[in-house]
Chains A and B, each alone.
Chain A
């Protein structure tokens, strides 16, 4: 199973950032998790099971799915949101996890 993410997305502070993650039938067949990785740090889960937020993650982070695309939306983007973002799913046919290639979010 392959997850496709654009290498980069840019957004101005205060605007919304939409980070797509493409996968075949992702809406119908997969549960998607999203991780944020700031430079030099370990990844942190920001959205799990499509649209749940772990404790401590701001409400500005949300997830959605439609057709072959899952989307992480970050509302009212702040400078501190600048990071790499990775989507992840479980591939039950192989018992493997799969990560997307990651998107670098730049706050202009």
Chain B
């Protein structure tokens, strides 16, 4: 199983970035995927997740990003996206994509990518 994030970089406050999460080694469409971020020197913060097609690819988001971030998936290409709009300074950090062990609440995150860094500054 491989999980690879990309798309990170520097953005000004108020601008947008789109992160990608490419996966291989399992049937992508059968699993939910989640995004977790880590501000410099801080702990892990759950961002949101997208369920599998079996659960209509519905999404949930942390309060800190709801209304600004959105997660989507393209099962035909085994890729998930994190669209980040109206970026703020406290969105700075490393963003990880991870697979959920199963597609319902209470799952753990069994495979993680190495993360992609995002810096929001003027």
Contacts and interface: CB of A to CB of B under 8 A. Distances in A.
Interface of A: 31, 33, 35, 37, 41-45, 48-49, 54, 84, 86, 88, 90, 92, 95-102
> What does DSSP make chain A's interface, helix, strand, loop or mixed?
strand
Interface of B: 34, 36, 43-46, 49, 60, 62, 96, 101, 105-110, 112-115
Nearest to A88: B108
Contact of A101 (B43, B46, B101, B110): B43
A37 B96 CA distance: 13
Contacts, number: 55
A86 B42 CA distance: 11
Which of B36, B62, B96, B106 gathers most chain A CB within 10 Å? B106
A24 B31 CA distance: 30
14 contacts: A33-B109, A35-B44, A43-B96, A48-B101, A54-B110, A86-B43, A88-B44, A88-B108, A88-B109, A95-B60, A97-B49, A99-B43, A99-B45, A102-B43
